Structure formats: C-alpha cells, structure tokens
C-alpha cells in the first residue's frame, strides 16, 4: 500500500486514538474510478483524504560498502475540513516519520520515529511535493527530489534523486483496491527506479554515496479490510531494467486475501497485473527478533509468470542482514523493513535488489485497529 504501508497500520491506530467519532469518517474523500491524477499537483498533500504517505527505500554504495535506507513521511487527518497547516499547535493533521539505515558491514541497524502535529515542526504542502518533520525533509526541486534525514546523532544523509524511468499508477481504473469494501482503496503512485547520489554521515565518517531508490505515494481514507491481520510487501529492481511490486494480505484464518496483487513493470513503464491466484508467496527463512520476540519469514520465495517470456520464474529474497526491524515507538506498531538481494532460484545468481516489508508479526494490528 505503500501498498499496504506499515505506516498505514500505524496511522489508522493513531486515527482511532485521535478522531472524535465515526460520523466524520463518512465525509472524507475517497478514490474515484476515472479520476485523472495531475502532476506535479498530486505529488503534494491531499488534506481532504484521511491517510497519506510518501515512502522511499533504496540501496546506497560507497565503493564496495553497501547500505539500505528507508525514509517515510506520513500525514493523518483528524477532521475532514481543511485547516491551514501553519496554525500554531494545530490538531487537524498529525504527522509521523520514520528513518532507517542498515549497515551490513557492521551489522548495525539504525532507526528513529518522530510524531508531530500540524503547525508544530511538521507539515505537507498542497500542490507540489514538500513534506517535513523537524529537519527531515523531502521536496521536489526542478526535476530532482531532495531528501534529508537522520537517526539521532548517529546517522545523517542528504540525497538527491532523479527518476530513471517515469512514475506509474497501480490498480485497475486508477484505483488500488485492498478489500471488498469500496472505501478500502487508494491512489497509488510510484517511481519504481530513482538514481541517487549524495552524502552519508556515519558517526565521524563522511561518505560519498550513490545507488538506486524506490518511491511510493499513497492517498486514501481507509485501506485495511477487517479480516486482514498483516501483509508482506516487496519492491523488486532487476538488473535488466524491470521491476515488480508485489504483496500478500494475510487474513485471520491464515489464508491469503484475494485482493493481494503482483505487478510487473517493463523497461518502458508498462504494467502487467497478476491476481493472487496467479503467483505464489512462500514464507521461509525465520528470524526471531530479540526486541519484540516476533518471528519474521525474512527469505520468502516468490513464484510468478514472467510476462516477457510467459515462463514461470522463482525468486528468493535474501536480506543483506537479518536485524532490520523497525521497533514501534509512539505509533505502537513494530515491523520488519529491509534491504535484500534477488536470487534466481533456477540459476542461483543474484539478478537484482529489493526491499521487503512485513507487518502483523510483532503486533496484533487487527485488534489495535478495532
């Protein structure tokens, strides 16, 4: 979502804490079939929708040294009426942000969460991309995106990103559906491949870095179906210039929701959607978190049909390091979000890089969202 973004669960949890009643929810805008998104306007904030996030993950290199990074900015509306974001101590919008960096060379995983409200050191601009939470910032500057983030005093990165291929919009008829209810849907905008360069401060060490990233922007007012307990999501970037966005929505009885989806993106940005019954997501590779006790299947195998050849392919996601769990803070939800290599199971070769996200293993999200 992010297709379901983990943040999505956190946001709905916060919504339950802050919203005054169920009646206002009916007034929020909802994704509409046939609506045409316009850019750069729709890269910006949509305060008439309840839930929105801008999510980046990527792989950075400083010579032979490799890092994985995550930067996510969330907006959660508290009331459907528009209230200026510059209102001092405003309570119309709540903003959360997550930053993470994995360093496989040392085995360190750095992460931090921030939570602020509108007019108090956080905001999101309408009409173009400009979001911030404290000194963490993501904005569009000409053809580039500029990202500044940190993890306390341990890590800081300042990155410039340029789209290597155009944005895509996931879903049928412009809407990404997550469940049978009409409200369980989003506008889902993605830059599947961004070139990245910039600097990374790691303690006293300053590194020049370059690499590739993925960016999701989702706009919604409700996504999670009542029967869903969590999800597994991944963004694949193959060395051959293609990508996959795929996820499985896990239901209470242990089955996979029919609203799960896998989408191939070809070199020109054309999409091939596959339904839940057309691919397999096999959970394997258990890692137990020493912090939450959750057991995550961190090396899943995905079986899908390659639209370029019509042949079945099997991919194994192999994490660069096991300990890439974002432990919940004020949001109260912990999840695994980590950099991986893509292994072709038939040839045992590394054929690309990926980011994997898993929620609902450390927390009973369904229970928290009631």
Q: Decide which of 292 and 118 is more confident.
A: 292
Q: How do beta strands 261-265 and 271-275 pair? A: antiparallel
Residue 239 maps to a domain? yes
* 368: three-class secondary structure by DSSP: helix
Q: How would residue 90 be classed by pLDDT, with cut points 50, 70 and 90? A: low
Domain that holds residue 181: 6-368
Which H/E stretch holds residue 370? none
pTM of the model: 0.90
> Nearest CA to 366 among 231, 204, 258, 273?
231
pLDDT at 278: 97
CATH number at residue 263: 2.40.370.10
> Which residues make Cβ contacts (< 8 Å) with residue 350, sequence separation at least 6?
341, 342, 343, 344
Our count of domains for the chain comes to 1
Residue 64 maps to a domain? yes
Give the model confidence (pLDDT) of 10-60 as tens digits. 444 444 433 333 334 447 888 888 889 999 999 999 988 988 999 999 999
Give the model confidence (pLDDT) of 196-228 as tens digits. 999 999 999 999 999 999 999 999 887 666 777
Q: How would residue 364 be classed by pLDDT, with cut points 50, 70 and 90? A: low
Residue 91 maps to a domain? yes
Residue 1 maps to a domain? no
- What's the rounded Cα separation, in Å, for the pair 176 and 223? 10
Residue 329 maps to a domain? yes
Evaluate the omega torsion of the peptide bond into residue 40 and state whether it is cis, within 30 degrees of 0: yes
The answer to whether 354 touches 234, Cβ cutoff 8 Å, is yes
- What's the rounded Cα separation, in Å, for the pair 177 and 259? 7
Q: What are phi and psi of 102, to 5 degrees?
A: -105, 140
């Amino acid at each position: 979502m992010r297709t379901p973004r983990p943040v999505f669960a956190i946001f709905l949890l916060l919504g339950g804490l802050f919203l005054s009643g169920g009646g206002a929810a009916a007034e929020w805008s909802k994704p509409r079939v046939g609506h045409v998104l316009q850019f750069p306007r729709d890269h910006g904030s949509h305060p008439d929708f309840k839930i929105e996030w801008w999510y980046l993950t990527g792989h950075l290199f400083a010579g032979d040294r490799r890092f994985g990074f995550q930067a996510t900015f969330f907006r959660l509306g508290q009331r459907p009426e528009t209230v200026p974001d510059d209102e001092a101590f405003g309570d119309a919008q709540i903003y959360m942000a997550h930053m993470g960096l994995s360093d496989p060379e040392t085995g360190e995983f750095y992460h931090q969460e921030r939570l602020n409200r509108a007019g108090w050191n956080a905001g999101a601009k309408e009409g173009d991309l400009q979001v911030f939470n404290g000194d963490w910032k993501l904005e569009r500057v000409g053809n580039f995106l500029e990202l500044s983030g940190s993890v306390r005093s341990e890590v800081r990165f300042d990155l410039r990103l340029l789209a290597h291929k155009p944005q895509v919009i996931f879903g049928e008829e412009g809407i990404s559906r997550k469940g049978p209810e009409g409200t369980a849907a989003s506008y889902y905008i993605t830059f599947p491949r961004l070139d990245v360069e910039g600097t990374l401060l790691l303690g006293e060490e300053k590194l020049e870095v370059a690499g590739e990233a993925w960016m999701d922007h989702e706009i919604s007012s409700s996504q999670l179906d009542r029967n869903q307990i969590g999800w597994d999501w991944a963004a694949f970037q193959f060395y051959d210039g293609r990508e996959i966005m795929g996820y499985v929505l896990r239901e209470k009885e242990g089955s996979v929701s029919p609203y799960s989806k896998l989408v191939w993106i070809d070199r020109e940005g054309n999409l091939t959607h596959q339904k839940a019954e057309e691919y397999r997501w096999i959970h394997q590779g258990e890692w137990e978190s020493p912090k939450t006790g959750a057991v995550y299947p961190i090396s899943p195998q995905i079986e899908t049909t390659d639209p370029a050849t019509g042949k079945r392919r099997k991919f194994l996601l192999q994490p660069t390091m096991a300990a890439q769990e974002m432990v919940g803070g004020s949001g109260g939800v912990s999840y695994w979000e980590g950099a991986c290599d893509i292994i072709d199971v038939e040839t045992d070769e590394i054929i690309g890089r990926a980011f994997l996200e898993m929620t609902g293993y450390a927390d009973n999200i369904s229970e928290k969202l009631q």
